[in-house]
């Protein structure tokens, strides 16, 4: 079914319609929450809080087609609130918690080795650059959506991504990369 139809049903109090909307993108919600929270338990807590907030606030959504960016904004805000309550910064991976690789092989959220290498590289960026790059390239969100989610101006988001990418390029080999697509030149 179309998103707008399900949103309309959810606004009428149909919990099943809201559940269908959430389940259609559950993996993306989990990855986004895990990116902020750094462990499975806290990510699931944030997702639960998001679901409650969506149920309570679905009437406020004006553009039905914007459901997914709206819901992800709610999730990001919930993650940030939970992190503030725990009085900790945004971690890339909390060393006190088991890594995703500690989960069984049948876990659909298990990271590959190259993703872990990228996490190590991203950990060298400041929190704002890391957040912007992860939202853009890991979660494939448009710049404007990232700006809306974080409350930062669009130009600031583009700047954070550009500066962060420059730092990453220097860490992985500097001038071997001639553009943002990572095409190798003269290696």
Complete DSSP assignment for the chain: --HHHHHHHHHTT-HHHHHHHHHHTHHHHHHHHHHHHSSHHHHHHHHHHHHHHHHHHGGG---GGGHHHHHHHHHHHHHHHHHHHTT----SS-TTSPPGGGS-TT-TTPPPHHHHHHHHHHTTS-HHHHHHHIIIIIS---HHHHHHHHT--HHHHHHHHHHHHHHHHHHHTGGGB-STT--B---
Question: Are residues 86 and 11 part of one domain?
Answer: yes
pTM, two decimals, is: 0.61
Q: What's the whole-number mean pLDDT along residues 143-155? A: 90
Burial class of residue 164 in the structure, from the number of CB atoms within 10 Å of its CB (0-12 exposed, 13-18 middle, 19+ buried): buried
Question: Are residues 69 and 41 part of one domain?
Answer: yes
Question: Are residues 89 and 8 part of one domain?
Answer: yes
Lowest mean pLDDT among 117-121, 126-130, 156-160, 172-176: 172-176
Instruction: Assess if residue 168 is contained within a domain.
Output: yes
Give the confidence band of 187 by pLDDT, cuts at 50, 70, 90.
very low
Task: Using the predicted structure, report yes or no on whether residue 180 has a pLDDT greater than 60.
Answer: no
> What pLDDT does 139 receive?
83
Span 129-138, pLDDT tens digits? 998 998 888 8
> What pLDDT does 137 receive?
85
Question: Are residues 126 and 51 part of one domain?
Answer: no
CATH at residue 117? 1.10.10.10
Task: Using the predicted structure, report yes or no on whether residue 48 has a pLDDT greater than 70.
Answer: yes
Give the confidence band of 51 by pLDDT, cuts at 50, 70, 90.
very high
Domains held by the chain: number: 2
Question: Are residues 43 and 123 part of one domain?
Answer: no
Instruction: Assess if residue 100 is contained within a domain.
Output: no
> What pLDDT does 93 receive?
43
Domain that holds residue 160: 111-180
């Amino acid at each position: 079914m179309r998103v707008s139809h399900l949103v309309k049903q959810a606004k009428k109090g149909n919990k099943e319609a809201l559940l269908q909307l959430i389940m259609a993108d559950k993996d993306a919600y989990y990855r986004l929450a895990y990116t902020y929270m750094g462990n499975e338990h806290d990510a699931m807590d944030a997702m639960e809080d998001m679901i409650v907030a969506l149920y309570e606030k679905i009437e406020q959504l004006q553009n039905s087609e914007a459901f997914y960016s709206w819901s992800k904004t709610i999730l990001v805000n919930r993650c940030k609130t939970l992190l503030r309550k725990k009085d900790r910064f945004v971690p890339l991976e909390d060393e006190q918690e088991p890594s995703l690789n500690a989960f069984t092989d049948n876990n659909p959220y298990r990271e590959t080795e190259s993703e872990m290498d990228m996490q190590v590289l991203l950990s060298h960026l400041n929190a704002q650059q890391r957040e912007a790059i992860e939202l853009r390239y890991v979660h494939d969100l448009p710049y404007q959506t990232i700006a809306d989610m974080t409350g930062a101006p669009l130009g600031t988001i583009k700047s954070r991504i550009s500066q962060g990418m420059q730092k990453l390029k220097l860490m992985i080999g500097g001038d071997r990369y001639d553009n943002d697509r990572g095409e190798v030149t003269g290696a």
